[in-house]
Structure 1
Amino acid sequence: MFSKTDPAPPPAATPARAPNPNAGKSVLASDLRISGDITSTGSVEVFGEIDGNLTARNLLIGTEGSVKGTLSAETIEVKGTLDGRVSTQSFTLRGSAKVEADVNYTSLVIESGAQIEGRFTRPKT
Structure 2
Amino acid sequence: MGADIGIEGDLAATADLHLDGRVDGDIKCAALVQGETSEITGAVVAENAHVAGKIKGSISADTLVILKTARIEGDVTYGTLSIEEGAQVEGNFSNRAAEPKLMLAGGTEAV
Q: If the TM-score is normalised by the length of the shorter chain, which range does it land in?
A: 0.7 to 0.9
Residue 79 of structure 2: aligned partner: 106
TM-score (norm 1): 0.75
Which of the pair has more CA radius of gyration? 1
Match of 2:9 among 36, 47, 64: 36
Alignment RMSD (CA, Å):
1.0
**Cα distance between partner residues in 1 of 2:58 and 2:44:** 6
Which of structure 1's runs of 4+ aligned residues deviate more than 6 A? none
Residue 71 of structure 1: aligned partner: 44
**How far is 1:60 from its partner?**
1.1
Name the count of aligned residue pairs.
98
Q: Secondary structure at the match of 1:56?
A: strand
**How far is 1:101 from its partner?**
1.5
Indicate whether 1:62 and 2:62 are aligned: no
**How far is 1:30 from its partner?**
0.4
Residues 32 and 46 of structure 2 are in contact (CA less than 8 Å); yes or no, is this contact kept in structure 1? yes
TM-score (norm 2): 0.84
